[in-house]
Amino acid sequence: MESHQLKPIYEAIGQGDMRRGLTECDNLLRKHSTHQGALALKAYVLAKLGDAEEATALGQQVLHTPGALKSSHVLQGLWLTFRVLRLPELEIAVYNTALAHTPNSEQLYCKIFMAAARFNLYKEQHAAAVALNKLFKQDKYLWWVVTSLLMQARSSQDSAVKQLQLTLAERMAEKALGEGRLTNTEELRIYLEVLEIQGNHTAMIAALSTSGPLAEKIANDPDLVTQRIGLLIRTGDYTKACAAAVAALESRDNWADYKLYVEATVAQASGGESPVQAATANFDKWAAQRGRDRGAKLAGVELAIKLHEAGRAKPAGEVADVVGERIWSYVDQFMTKAICYSDIMQYFVTHVKSATALGQTSSAVDFHSKQLEQRLHNARAAATAAKCSEDAAQSWVSLERIRYLIQALADDVDPQRWVAGIGTMLSFGLDSTEAERKLAACSDMTLIACQRLILGAFLAYPEPEQRGLLLSSLFKVVCVLEAGIRMNDDQFLLKLYAIRLYLYLSCYDRARALYDTLNIKNIQLDTLGFLINGHGMSLGCFSTDLELCYDGVSFYDRADARVPQELESAYGNGTYSNITDFTTFRDNLVHSVQRECTHRCALRGETFEYGTSKDVVDQWKEADAVSIEHTDETIAALHDNRDVAVMGLLTPVDMAKWNLEIMTRQMPLPGPAWIKIFSMVPQIMHYIVCSEAELLEARARDLLAVTEEAGQSVSSHDLLLARGVYQVATLYLRARSGDEGFDNELSALAEMIIGALPPDTSALNSLDLHDVALSSIRTASVATELFTLALSVKHALSAQRSSSANAVALGLSQIRKTALKLVGGMRAWTEKPARESIDALWLNAEEPLLASAMTLLLNRRKSAVTLATKSCVGSWLKSVNNMAAHWKKCT
């Protein structure tokens, strides 16, 4: 009977038509107002329709109706409701209430366990696991108990409680191992984790040295084999560690095992030379085996450098040469492989740094420079000869990368030396038969040349008065990058640098087009979104940036829903080793810096989207501006997943002076101060439209304080915006209270907005190209955003029937009139003189650094120069047109 009555509702839900589902619920409830099944399903439908408040209230009402959960329809309707609403405590309450009607239900206890597991409710999770283990005595449930205890211990702040949970988990796992109930490596990993937290390495080794069927599984699991070697080292049993490493390396080429073998060998070396000789002999033996030469040879370098660091290499006076020769021997053998440089870079760095510690930087650098010189000469000659082989080309690339590193390690600040040989490199990269063949080495060579040119430009033109030369140089590098991309569209690093430099020159549109070709999506929105996201807001391209923000928001929403489900799957499949990883992964995503930035940018974008409409007051009222508030604690909990190492750097990330990712940032990466500022802006707007004067005053003061403390961690344009928002808040407070001084605040705001727009070009006849590339578009964008926010003040005062509303409206109207004229002038310049300015001031500038590159481009790849020029002008025009259109809408 009940099923029959509910059928139309289920049908509507099954078809995804929630509106019809709601109607069907109401139809049934009109006839049977206390029909609990209909009420439960109505709660579910409301939850799906986004009415969380009513869905929760109705769900709770049904939950507390005695006997309601006897019905399977009610049970299903309610747990689904609370799952959709992400209210795990209530979902668990549903199962617990249902248990009163079907005690000892395995299914209900499992549901409690999973609901708790999805949301880190470890106590509830543990209780359910214990009940399942007691009632059904399955091994799976035993491991659920152990894992729950482990997760509880990991999250516990109380050390005594933590120890108790770990001890319990350990005993259960130990007993299971003894009884043969620990049967696979996933269960073993959980046991090892329990022991690891307690620092019980001896017991870990014992577990990993177990006999029986598990032993074979351990032997076939490379990670566990490696873990055992590491544990032997940690317990000081270097002899066994060496033996275990040798045994492992006899059967497979695993770099982690090589590293541990070296570590154990060096630790043993104080007792004599034989361990080192044995390791060296082994490395030589393995290096002679097919496909194993790279790892074994690199291990030889690792051993040399570790012995050197430990002061155990002999004779002492020849140490540097021994290490250095090992490094170069590796290079000689593997420079034909693209991996050579990333393999060996760290050893060059360590070697030179250890020499620095002894005050011998120059001798180490000189040694390497000398080693490089002839090799580079030969490689260049071989690669530029007719019929160059792929190996020859790659060798030259590897050695060019090393040259770059050695120059950085030598702290070479002479720009001329950085651009030395660029012409030959670019000829090979862009204008050779190998380049026509799309040889990867050619694109790599073009990239290295661009990296050198960028570095050279920043070194040559560091002063503000040299900005024209810097911009001219960077524009020319863009031309080279465009030529490189045309030659080989697959080289994503060329695109990443082009994106960076276009943004440096305030060209959003072309940067965005290149970004789109990289097909960045899903998790990459979190790690790589920073490359472009937010730049549109600063460059007048609000809508396109907002679209990207929505992609990001949608990704984070999906992740919030899916990762907990996958945690459930991991428990279900018994792949316990994933539990900790998935939990950490989820936490890193939930607290992601980029997630915060994406959400704040989305709010900024929506300001433009809705800011010109009268409905903006309702929009700001409804905005959940309070929950986005940040404290020092919430900021400290953020996790930075942004992949700043993606740019193919040729120096270690921590050598900041030479880090091109940092150097090419036009504005700082958004960090704590930025997040705080852009969390406060929507709060301020919310308080304005809600007429919450005290809260507004306090938040505006906070904003000013953060702005003043931000220093260089926030761009000057964003700081300008923040100060402007403070002014908007002050204007509202004065105008609202009828304070006569509000005129002054309005004038101050007008001054800020008009001052941020470019000067009246009808008098000057031209804008400054360098101003446009560096700041005019950015400040005009700030002015546009500020004015949009100020419009909300006008609408709020009007809605609040303030006597100052008309005066504010009139003042804003005058600002708009002036702004339209100024933005119009900017557009006129961008439409025509901009291109001429690029030709005159950038392309034909007396700038010697890139002369050889430009000669090649203008003679052989002119289309790339044309493309870069058009892209700059087109991008600026797009930004200016967007702003002009927005100002027009701001009536």
Partner 1 sequence: MDMFRFNNINLDRYTETYDLSFYLTYLSSWPDLYIVAESADSSLMGYLMGKVEGKEELWHGHVTALTVAPECRRLGLGRGLMDVLEVASEKTYDCYFVDLFVRPSNLVAIQMYENLGYTLYRQVIDYYVTDGVMPTEYANDMRKALARDVDRKSIVPVKHPVKVEDTFFD
Contacting residues toward partner 1, per CB under 8 A: 186, 221, 253, 255-256, 291, 294, 298, 302, 337-339, 342-343, 345-346, 440, 489-490, 492, 516-524, 526-528, 555, 558-559, 562-563, 565-566, 569-570, 573, 575, 577-578, 581-582, 585, 588, 641, 643, 645-646, 648
CA angle 785, 787, 789 (to 5 degrees): 70
Beta carbon nearer to partner 1, 103 or 212: 212
Task: Return d(Cα 438, Cα 488) in angstroms, integer.
Answer: 6
In whole angstroms, the minimum distance from the beta carbon of 327 to partner 1 comes to 13
The β-bridge partners of 592 are 639
Name residue 639's beta-bridge partners: 592
* CB within 8 Å of 635: residues ≥ 6 apart: 672, 675, 676
Pick 413 or 653: Cβ nearer partner 1: 653
Toward partner 1, which CB reaches closer, 394 or 679?
394
Torsion sign across C-alpha atoms 647, 653, 657, 658? negative
Query: Whole-number minimum distance, CB 345 to partner 1, in Å?
Result: 7
**CA–CA dist 134, 145 (Å, integer):** 10
Q: Where are the alpha helices (DSSP H) in 690-759?
A: 693-710, 716-736, 742-756
In terms of CB distance, is 165 or 443 closer to partner 1? 443
Rounded to a whole number of angstroms, the distance between the first and last alpha carbons of the chain is 61
CB of 852 vs partner 1, minimal distance in Å: 27
Amino acid at 469: L
Q: Which is nearer to partner 1, 155 or 220 (CB)?
A: 220
Q: Provide, rounded to whole angstroms, the least separation between the CB of residue 291 and partner 1.
A: 5
**Min. distance of Cβ 494 from partner 1 in angstroms?**
11
Cβ proximity to partner 1, 526 vs 702, nearer residue = 526
Cis before 670 (ω within 30): no
Nearer to partner 1, 525 or 883 (CB): 525
Instruction: For residues 789 and 166, give the distance between their C-alpha atoms in angstroms, rounded to a whole number.
Output: 54
What are the two backbone dihedrals, phi and then psi, of residue 639, each rounded to the nearest 5 degrees? -120, 130
SS3 of residue 659 by DSSP: coil
User: Strand, coil or helix: what is 258?
Assistant: helix
CB 254 to partner 1: min, Å: 10
- Least distance from partner 1 to the Cβ atom of residue 208, Å: 17
Please name the amino acid found at residue 799: A
Q: Which of 623, 769, 630 is nearest to 702 (CA)?
A: 630
The residue (of 473 and 527) whose beta carbon lies closer to partner 1 is 527
Task: DSSP for 155-185, please give it.
Answer: H---HHHHHHHHHHHHHHHHHHHHTT---SH
CA distances from 756 to 39, 72, 775, 819, 820 (A): 57, 64, 9, 10, 13
CB of 445 to partner 1, least distance (A): 14
CB 177 within 8 A of CB 207: yes
Residue with Cβ nearer partner 1 (459 or 593): 593
The tokens 């040798």 sit on which residue? 246
Residue 688: both structure tokens together: 């304005």
DSSP 108-135: HHHHHHHHHHHTT-HHHHHHHHHHHHHH
CB of 78 to partner 1, least distance (A): 25
Q: Which is nearer to partner 1, 432 or 527 (CB)?
A: 527
CB of 180 to partner 1, least distance (A): 20
CB of 487 to partner 1, least distance (A): 15
Nearer residue to partner 1 within complex by CB, 456 or 670: 670
Smallest separation (angstroms) from partner 1 to the CB of 411: 22
Distance (Å, rounded) from C-alpha 565 to C-alpha 562?
A: 5
In the complex, minimum distance from the CB of residue 308 to partner 1, in angstroms, rounded to a whole number: 17
Task: Tell me whether residue 228 or residue 476 sits nearer to partner 1 (CB atom).
Answer: 228
Task: For 220, list phi and psi in degrees, rounded to 5.
Answer: -90, 0
The span from the CA of 236 to the CA of 679, in Å, is 51
Of residues 396 and 742, the one with the C-beta less far from partner 1: 396
Helix, strand, or coil here: 592?
strand
